[in-house]
Structure 1
């Protein structure tokens, strides 16, 4: 299929327009816009009016009918969609103490002090993108917990806070890509081979020993938070050999947004060094997406550092596309 692409290389998760010949009316052309589910064969999930993925059945377009495929910009994302994923994430990483600001627009979280997701103030209220940032209240909260002041800044809804961090003492973290895909048609599970997929409500020592956060082992307290505190359901997935050796792991979370949507959060992906470059990341991801769909999730999301092109490529193969970006700002003075 790659020979027909006249724009950038097309991958699962991309939004494209396909100009195709109509099989029943020779010489007539028709355009279809949708998100790529597969490139060989070319399979699309058509989008609905407004640019959002619809519930329409996926369609396969034979190569001989395709005239051109053009890659489009990602679909327009509403502020409410950004907020929904960030709310689902906050419920999956609530920290030890989490409370809303007096205005009800900022969620203040304090945890182990290690991961940003559990130790940051997030603008998650519907008016947070328009109201003043309750900085004094945020500062008092983190002073009580003896933690640095840290703000989560999703694009657009975090704009008011961006104006406050130009002063000395603020450090802006690296850009993080939040990727998303719908689960109307979960991916097929690759050939199982000798490895067995298993998912548990709680991780054992083998799972915990394999997990690292940005290349470093997590302190025991942080590991406890990873498995005990969540406003939703957790699943700890793994691939293991027939004799029980754990060779790849991930954490899945199922959290709602209050409007009836349920999200699968996919994080903590790790493959044992001796087992890398064998497609285990793809297999594990497909298994977890299937688990999420089977347990009522409508959509899935994950986060990856923008510079991790290999990770972004892997998740693209699983049907994820960029949804929005966010960063953390930490006051160091």
Structure 2
């Protein structure tokens, strides 16, 4: 039986039950007293709940595991795989926003929110993002956000990264808003980026400056084909570099695709953004997903990026497994809140 999550608290992030290997904070009662203590570490057994305390930074350790009696258990809180600072969350979100600026965008009057309007189904280019260092302390500029999207005849969408956007979390808890799924933002350093994985015989990897029709034929987002003109406009407005990876089969057909962006955070650090990893149904189960990911990591390192990020819906277990095998770890999570249509 899985340990119960934090009781009496409505959670926005990490809503799934903790499992083996997960990093958690376990609060337990000290027998015979009214005191409680916390154990922070990785679950090594569920019944009874057993946690091995972590090393500094959230890394797994070889410390003696702690067995926690169910009668002593107060709460269990699922944590990211590594210790992450709020400033690092903001850095990744800034680099992401520069890769997905929307076709039209502007800052809120207080300079803390980026308002973006794109022309496609992806929320990354069609949402208001709290990117300023004070966005987690001041009120959400809701009137400005609603007016911006009304001018574009679009429903208002706000992006809510965990920990750095508490006012947005509270706002989106209201009945006027509907939450989208949890999205894992995963990262890895590129200073040790390995060369592209060995491809099956006859397959080749290449990076193009622009996509062609065959590349577009595989380009989807959550099962939907994306408008070509939206990506073309985005290519011209990105605050950085965008390139398009492809694996070709021996007969010349496109077997897998991905997209890579190189943008900077406010500190000037360059990030590779990896997205749109797709494998043609005709070429699945050849290891091409991992191969094209590795190929783009090597390309990003060569383009000067020191670290990489990507996003994956938290229920996409196959995708998460693929990216972990490529060296990515969960950094933080974010969600999108959609303003419900009002009658009248």
TM-score, normalising length: structure 2: 0.75
Alpha-carbon separation, structure 1, partners of 2:112 and 2:229: 29
Question: 1:283 aligns to what?
Answer: 291
Cα distance in 2, alignment partners of residues 184 and 52 from structure 1: 21
Aligned in 2, Cα 1:222/1:97: closer, same or farther, shift over 3 Å? same
Cross-structure match for 2:32: none
CA distance in 2 between counterparts of 1:296 and 1:261 reads: 9
Report the CA distance between 1:242 and its aligned residue: 3.1
Are 2:58 and 2:82, in contact at CA under 8 Å, matched by a contact in 1? Answer: yes
Counterpart position of 2:118: 111
* 1:176-200 superposed Cα distances (whole Å, 9 cap, x missing partner): 0000000110134322332110101
Give the Cα separation in 1 of the matches to 2:244 and 2:230: 16
- 1:238 aligned to 232, 242, 246, which one? 246
RMSD over equivalenced CA pairs, Å:
2.4
Partner in structure 2 of residue 294 of structure 1:
302
Structure 1 residues 95 and 195: CA distance shift in structure 2, 3 A: same
Mark the runs of 5 or more structure 1 residues left unpaired by the alignment.
1-6, 15-48, 54-65
> How many residue pairs get matched?
277
SS state at 1:244 partner: coil
| Counterpart-to-counterpart distance in 1, 2:85 and 2:193 | 24
Structure 1 residue 152: Cα displacement = 0.1
In the TM superposition, 1:152-191 aligns within 5 A as 152-191=159-198
Q: Which residue of 1 aligns with 2:100?
A: 93
Q: 1:51 aligns with which of 49, 57, 80?
A: 57
SS in 1 for 2:171: coil
Which stretch shows the higher mean deviation, 98-107 or 163-172?
163-172
Aligned partner of 1:126 in structure 2 is 133
Aligned to 2:322: 314
Question: Which 4+ stretches in 1 moved above 6 angstroms?
Answer: 66-70
Offset from partner CA, 1:186-232 (integer Å, 9 cap, x none): 13432233211010111111111121121121223334245433110
Rounded Cα–Cα distance in structure 1 between residues aligned with 2:58 and 2:205: 32
Deviation (angstroms), 1:123: 0.3
With over 3 angstroms needed to count, the CA separation of the structure-2 counterparts of 1:220 and 1:191, relative to structure 1, is closer
**Contact 2:80/2:331, CA 8 A, preserved across alignment:** no
Give the C-alpha shift of residue 50 in structure 1.
6.5
State the SS of the aligned residue for 2:146: helix
Contact 2:102 2:234 in 1 (8 A): no
CA shift for structure 1 position 165:
2.0
TM-score normalised by the chain length of structure 1: 0.78
8 Å contact from structure 2 (residues 216, 228) kept in 1: no
Q: Is the 8 A contact 2:245 2:258 kept in 1?
A: yes
1:258 is matched with which residue?
266
Q: How many Å separate the matches in 2 of 1:136 and 1:83?
A: 23
